[in-house]
Amino acid sequence: MSRIGKAIIEVPAGVTVTENNGVVTVKGPKGELTQELTSGISLAQEDGVLTFTRPSDSKEHKALHGLYRALINNMIVGTSTGFTKQLELVGVGYRASHSGQRLELALGFSHGIVVELPKEVTIDTLTEKGKNPIITLSSYDKQLLGMVAAKIRSFRKPEPYKGKGVRFVGENIRRKAGKSA
């Protein structure tokens, strides 16, 4: 069996998991998420523990077994505690500010970049003198949070010579040597 797929999920207090015709709904204090189960993967819930089973040992069923277990686990963790990603702007004159769900970025282009964020994602920007600006994104939906963070990073990816650009906090950028004179 799939090592990920056969692992059990313990449902924390305050989170309810329901399945109706192959659609799993997870409700928690942070929000509500749904995921459709396909291809015969079934969910069993007893005493606050979730287990997943697959109909056969075909390659497709093995792959989907682990996938759906991971997706439902992320939904449970997100609705109970939530997820956070931090982006760092490295470069002279790079700035970030927000008002409501609008993120305004100055990344060295001739124009500013304005991004409208979904209502599920909360944003916070931190600018301290002498340090790089930091954008903190948080949400209960891990997939949406990752897509929004990747979109912001794509406006100015870190370049390998000076390391300037938008990067995740703690991300390691492979550096290259410049021209030798």
pLDDT higher than 60, residue 29: yes
- The least confident of 94-98, 103-107, 170-174, 176-180 is 176-180
pLDDT digits (tens, 9 = 90+) for 141-176: 999 999 999 999 999 999 999 989 999 999 999 999
pLDDT digits (tens, 9 = 90+) for 11-21: 999 999 999 98
Taking all residues of the chain, what is their mean pLDDT, rounded to a whole number? 92
User: What are all long-range contacts of 116-124, with beta carbons under 8 Å and residues at least 24 apart?
Assistant: 117/148, 118/144, 118/148, 120/31, 120/144, 121/145, 121/148, 123/98, 124/98
pLDDT higher than 80, residue 1: no
pLDDT band at 139 (very low <50, low <70, confident <90, very high): very high
Which domains does the chain carry? 9-80 (3.90.930.12), 83-168 (3.90.930.12)
Do 167 and 87 touch, CB atoms closer than 8 A?
yes
The pLDDT of residue 22: 86
> What's the rounded Cα separation, in Å, for the pair 159 and 17?
44
